[in-house]
Amino acid sequence: MSANSESTYVPAEVVRVVVLEKHLHARPAGQLAQAAARHQPNTIELIAGDRRVNARSVLAVMGLGAVRGSEVRVIVAGADAVAVADEVVEILQSPETDT
Amino acid sequence: MVGIVLISHSSGLAEGTAELVGQIAGSTRVVPAGGTDDGRLGTSTDRIAAAIAVADTGDGVLLIPDLGSSVLSALALLADLDPLATGKQVLIADAPFVEGAVAAGVAAGSGLDLVAVARAAEEARDVRKL
């Protein structure tokens, strides 16, 4: 327990789970990689099946092979973890075309 | 924003890849330089030089060649550039063409600098798609 009870609680890590309604296509993979770059030094990792990747690599995100119905675990670490995790979940859930 | 020039023997391949990068990466400056001046398969240093001029907004340009003489033409152009005199920063990516272009486009669209964009392209060598 910290002696400083006034300090704002910052979670070390935020975990969210999303079940994909669409395949994780190239375009949302690009959006995830750009979000990862924009929100540095927060880190975004995605887990699907037995793969765990850093979202900063668009190719690694595509390599997850996360098809419709997959469970994707989102792990965000950093000072803005909650807001960043919200954004990641929104990208994963957004309806989009077939790219 | 870092500009990207896609150098291919085939104008169709360069243009199609640029189109794909635009779809995935959003607003980026990706300029195709494919084929010869008279529309045949091959590479043209004039077309590449013109593409570099279009791609360059002052933050540097990454050249992504497909293979063979695309690489040699890119190297020849780079050797002729005088970065101190022209202020142009140009690098060549040692990367697979489509995957490297997509990774570089996403990185450039994120506002990363030239070295980081080149690194993103080259990391494409090691990423499995299955």
Q: What's the domain range around A88?
A: 13-93
Side chain identity at B125, as an amino acid letter?
R
- Among B48, B58, B61, B62, CA closest to B8: B48
How many contacts (CB atoms, under 8 Å) link A and B? 53
Interface residue B107 vs chain A (CB under 8 A): yes
Q: What is the DSSP string of B99-112?
A: HHHHHHHHHHHTT-
Nearest-neighbour CA in chain A from B130: distance (Å): 6
pLDDT value of position A2 = 47
pLDDT reading at B28 higher than 50: yes
Q: Return the residue in A24, A27, A31, A34 with the most chain B beta carbons within 10 A, the one to mutate for interface testing.
A: A34
Query: Does any domain span residue A98?
Result: no
pLDDT in tens, A2-47: 455 556 666 679 999 999 999 999 999 999 999 999 999 999 999 9
Q: What is the DSSP string of B35-71?
A: S-TTSSSS--HHHHHHHHHHH-SSS-EEEEE-STHHH
Query: Does any domain span residue A2?
Result: no
pLDDT value of position B10 = 97
Q: Are A19 and A43 in contact (CB under 8 A)?
A: no
pLDDT reading at B41 higher than 70: yes
Q: Are A33 and B106 in contact (CB under 8 A)?
A: yes
Domain count, chain A: 1
Nearest-neighbour CA in chain B from A96: distance (Å): 12
pLDDT value of position A99 = 55
pLDDT value of position A97 = 56
* Residue ranges of domains in chain B: 3-126
CATH number at residue A52: 3.30.1340.10
pLDDT in tens, A81-97: 999 999 999 999 987 65
Closest alpha carbon within chain A to B113: A37
pLDDT value of position B85 = 74
Query: Quick one: fold of B3-126?
Result: Rossmann fold (3.40.50)
Residue A98, judged by CB atoms within 10 A of its CB (0-12, 13-18, 19+), counts as exposed
Residues of B forming the active site: 9
Task: Give the pLDDT mean for A44-60.
Answer: 96
Distant-in-sequence, close-in-space partners of A61: CB < 8 Å, separation ≥ 6: A24, A29, A32, A33, A46, A53, A55
pLDDT value of position B121 = 98
ipTM higher than the 0.85 cut: yes
Cα distance between residue B68 and residue B36, in whole Å? 15
Q: E strand or H helix at B16, and its extent? A: helix B11-25
Task: Give the pLDDT mean for B81-86.
Answer: 75
**Which runs of consecutive H residues, i.e. helices, occur in chain A?**
26-38, 58-62, 81-93
Answer yes or no: do A57 and B128 touch at CB < 8 A: no
pLDDT band at B80 (very low <50, low <70, confident <90, very high): confident
Indicate the Cα dihedral angle B106, B99, B61, A99, nearest 10°.
-40
